[in-house]
Amino acid sequence: MNEIEYPKFRWFVLFAYVIVTSATSFCMISPAPLIPFIAQGLGTDPGVIGNATMTSFNLFMGFFAFLGGFLLDKIGVFRMWIICLVLTGLGSILVPVIGTSVWGLVFCRILHAAGTGPIMASIAALSAQQFKFNERTYIAAFQGFSVCAGIAAGQYLVPVIYSLAGNNWAAALTWTTVYPAIALLFAFVVLFGPTLPVVHSHAGEAGSAEGKLFSPDYKKALLFSTVYVLAIMGLIDSWCQRVFDGLMGGFYNAAIDKGGLGLTSGNVLGSQKLVWASIFMALGTLVAPYVNDKIFKGNPKPTVIVGLGISAILILTIQKFTPTSGDLLLVWVPCGILFFSSFVNPTIFGYVAKHYPGDVAGRLGGFIMFFFVFGSAAGLAVSNTMLSSTGSYMPPFLLLAGVTALGAIAVLFLKPPKGFEWVYMHDHKK
């Protein structure tokens, strides 16, 4: 096979990917810091609004990530970005129109999910198709980095927008449309930019099956345990991070008699203390490939064990949080939780990009992302239900610590996929 020349334009593609993905994660997290105020405005409790905004989003994002995995391999990554960004922006624009009821808000979040899912799933295909073998784990890390950047921006800017909008939560959510609109410009530049290479399946393996959704390589990948272990790890990791994101802002903002810490003072929301945690989550995704490749010599098992093991221990310390706790607890413990838990995402998608062919990586990424999002939805549903029934944030946080620890056990069952050794042997030489 001829050696593929990877153009320098791929680095602009990576930059565009960061903008596109962070735009969708910005919209994803935007209701979270406003949940107590949305609940007050709609005359219900925060658990109901948490399910309406965060659980519904994650549940449907899993479906759209799975479906989007097939579409990514059929219509291309960059066309899919454009479609998804339009849907994401539409979900924000419609909030004042139909989102001022619980079910209308759910519909808007479904649109957000439809835009976010396929973009989240695109990282495996993007890494495998557009980048050199030794770049792929590091490129995959930019998914987590981009998500974290968007969450950090949302945690900080949405409360500011809320204040500027006269404490009108619907108007604040509408203004989140601006970020996907900017990202759409980058997506169009990439779409019409220089042609980038696509790595096709191994000759003889899928040559006659090119274009089929269920190609021989895809079916073969689903026959062995590797992809399922990666999916379970993703499920547990996403339960950890999305439940933490979904609950922590409300925990800081909610009044003490509502089970929270009551840290809001005037127009300054308590959840703004979590901005540093989102930044550390972004840093963790960038550090993870170095830890995996340099310290643990490419072995994903100790990387995941360290990341989720430390996170589980730190989550247990949330029981000690009080309104008078200093920044050591209120700021830096969340930083540690999200820094170490972020080791998992780039490790998983980097593993897919290195061990599977580029033209099935989108489908496999979508398959794994479905489990990621199912973990988010299940975790948020269970946690918000526990919050509503107990009136306390502590039971869901204790459950979160236990689930996170399970991820450190799941990775012990990971084995290289059978039948794809040629991917590593061919691409590793580039």
Q: Which residue has the higher pLDDT, 23 or 276?
A: 23
pLDDT at 272: 66
Number of Cβ within 10 Å of residue 411's Cβ equals 23
368, 233 in Cβ contact below 8 A?
no
pLDDT at 129: 77
Residues 6 or more apart whose Cβ sits within 8 Å of residue 106: 52, 56
In angstroms, rounded to a whole number, what is the distance separating the alpha carbons of residues 38 and 36? 6
Per-range mean pLDDT, top range of 17-21, 62-66, 149-153: 17-21
Tell me the CATH number for domain 10-195+212-427.
1.20.1250.20
pLDDT at 210: 45
Nearest Cα residue to 376 out of 109, 124, 165? 109
Within 43-177, residue ranges assigned H as helices are 46-50, 56-75, 77-93, 95-98, 102-130, 136-164, 169-174
Q: Which of 84-93, 163-172, 360-369, 400-409 has the lowest mean pLDDT?
A: 360-369
Each as own residue / partner, the long-range contacts of residues 298-301 (CB below 8 Å, 24 or more positions apart, any chain) are 300/347, 300/348, 300/351, 300/411, 300/414, 301/411, 301/412, 301/414
pLDDT at 269: 58
The C-alpha angle 190, 194, 199, rounded to 5 degrees, equals 90
The burial of 399, by beta-carbon neighbours within 10 Å (0-12 exposed, 13-18 middle, 19 or more buried), is given as: middle
pLDDT above 80 (res 427): no
Give the pLDDT band (50/70/90) at residue 32.
confident
Q: Which residue has the higher pLDDT, 291 or 132?
A: 291
| Two tokens, residue 374 | 């199912």
Q: What does the pLDDT look like over 229-287, one tens digit per residue?
A: 998 988 898 888 878 877 887 787 766 766 677 666 555 556 667 778 878 888 898 89
Percent above pLDDT 70 for the chain: 86
The whole-number average pLDDT for the span 28-51 is 86
**Arithmetic mean of pLDDT over the chain:** 82
| Two tokens, residue 247 | 């609950």
pLDDT at 417: 76
- Which residues lie across from 268 on neighbouring strands? 265
Cα 269 vs. chain centroid, distance in angstroms? 24
pLDDT at 188: 94
Give the pLDDT band (50/70/90) at residue 173.
very high
pLDDT above 50 (res 204): no
In angstroms, rounded to a whole number, what is the distance separating the alpha carbons of residues 39 and 258? 12
